Protein backbone atom coordinates (compact mmCIF):
# COMPACT_ATOMS: atom_id res chain seq x y z
CA UNK A 1 0.00 0.00 0.00
CA UNK A 2 1.19 3.49 -0.70
CA UNK A 3 0.17 6.77 0.90
CA UNK A 4 -2.03 7.67 -2.07
CA UNK A 5 -4.83 5.43 -0.83
CA UNK A 6 -4.81 6.99 2.64
CA UNK A 7 -6.57 10.31 3.16
CA UNK A 8 -4.83 13.30 4.71
CA UNK A 9 -8.10 14.66 6.08
CA UNK A 10 -11.55 13.29 6.76
CA UNK A 11 -14.14 13.74 4.01
CA UNK A 12 -16.61 16.62 4.20
CA UNK A 13 -19.91 15.98 5.97
CA UNK A 14 -21.82 16.03 2.66
CA UNK A 15 -19.43 13.56 0.95
CA UNK A 16 -21.13 10.71 -0.90
CA UNK A 17 -19.48 7.53 -2.06
CA UNK A 18 -16.74 5.47 -0.49
CA UNK A 19 -14.25 7.76 1.26
CA UNK A 20 -10.56 7.19 1.78
CA UNK A 21 -9.90 6.79 5.49
CA UNK A 22 -7.31 8.73 7.48
CA UNK A 23 -4.85 7.06 9.83
CA UNK A 24 -6.84 8.46 12.77
CA UNK A 25 -10.08 7.02 11.37
CA UNK A 26 -8.66 3.50 11.03
CA UNK A 27 -7.08 3.84 14.49
CA UNK A 28 -10.52 4.65 15.94
CA UNK A 29 -11.99 1.61 14.19
CA UNK A 30 -9.29 -0.51 15.85
CA UNK A 31 -10.16 1.02 19.24
CA UNK A 32 -7.14 3.27 19.76
CA UNK A 33 -7.81 6.41 21.80
CA UNK A 34 -7.35 9.72 19.98
CA UNK A 35 -4.39 10.46 22.25
CA UNK A 36 -2.42 7.49 20.87
CA UNK A 37 0.49 8.62 18.71
CA UNK A 38 1.72 6.77 15.64
CA UNK A 39 5.12 7.59 14.22
CA UNK A 40 6.29 8.03 10.68
CA UNK A 41 4.55 9.10 7.53
CA UNK A 42 1.03 8.05 6.51
CA UNK A 43 1.89 4.63 5.16
CA UNK A 44 4.08 3.69 8.13
CA UNK A 45 1.45 4.90 10.60
CA UNK A 46 -1.31 3.08 8.70
CA UNK A 47 0.68 -0.15 8.83
CA UNK A 48 1.23 0.27 12.58
CA UNK A 49 -2.52 0.49 13.07
CA UNK A 50 -3.24 -2.41 10.72
CA UNK A 51 -0.65 -4.69 12.32
CA UNK A 52 -1.68 -3.85 15.86
CA UNK A 53 -3.77 -5.93 18.19
CA UNK A 54 -6.85 -3.80 19.01
CA UNK A 55 -6.45 -2.26 22.49
CA UNK A 56 -9.99 -3.16 23.69
CA UNK A 57 -9.39 -6.80 22.74
CA UNK A 58 -5.96 -6.78 24.42
CA UNK A 59 -7.52 -5.40 27.59
CA UNK A 60 -10.22 -8.08 27.61
CA UNK A 61 -7.68 -10.86 27.03
CA UNK A 62 -5.43 -9.48 29.78
CA UNK A 63 -8.33 -9.28 32.24
CA UNK A 64 -9.33 -12.87 31.42
CA UNK A 65 -5.78 -14.10 32.01
CA UNK A 66 -5.66 -12.19 35.29
CA UNK A 67 -8.95 -13.78 36.43
CA UNK A 68 -7.61 -17.24 35.62
CA UNK A 69 -4.51 -16.59 37.74
CA UNK A 70 -6.71 -15.35 40.60
CA UNK A 71 -8.94 -18.44 40.38
CA UNK A 72 -5.93 -20.74 40.27
CA UNK A 73 -4.44 -19.01 43.32
CA UNK A 74 -7.73 -19.43 45.27
CA UNK A 75 -7.91 -23.12 44.36
CA UNK A 76 -4.32 -23.60 45.53
CA UNK A 77 -5.14 -21.98 48.88
CA UNK A 78 -8.29 -24.11 49.29
CA UNK A 79 -6.42 -27.34 48.55
CA UNK A 80 -3.49 -26.57 50.87
What pLDDT digit, counting tens, does each position of 58-70 carry?
A: 999 999 999 999 9
Rounded CA-CA distance 24/71 in Å is 39
- Domain housing 7: 3-79
Rounded CA-CA distance 52/38 in Å is 11
What integer pLDDT is reported at residue 51 of this predicted model?
95
Other beta carbons within 10 Å of 32: 20
Rounded CA-CA distance 55/48 in Å is 13
Q: What is the pTM of this model?
A: 0.74
Total domains in the fold of the chain: 1
Amino acid sequence: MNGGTIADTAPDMDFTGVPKLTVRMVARIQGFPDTWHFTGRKTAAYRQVGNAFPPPVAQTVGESISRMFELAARRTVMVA
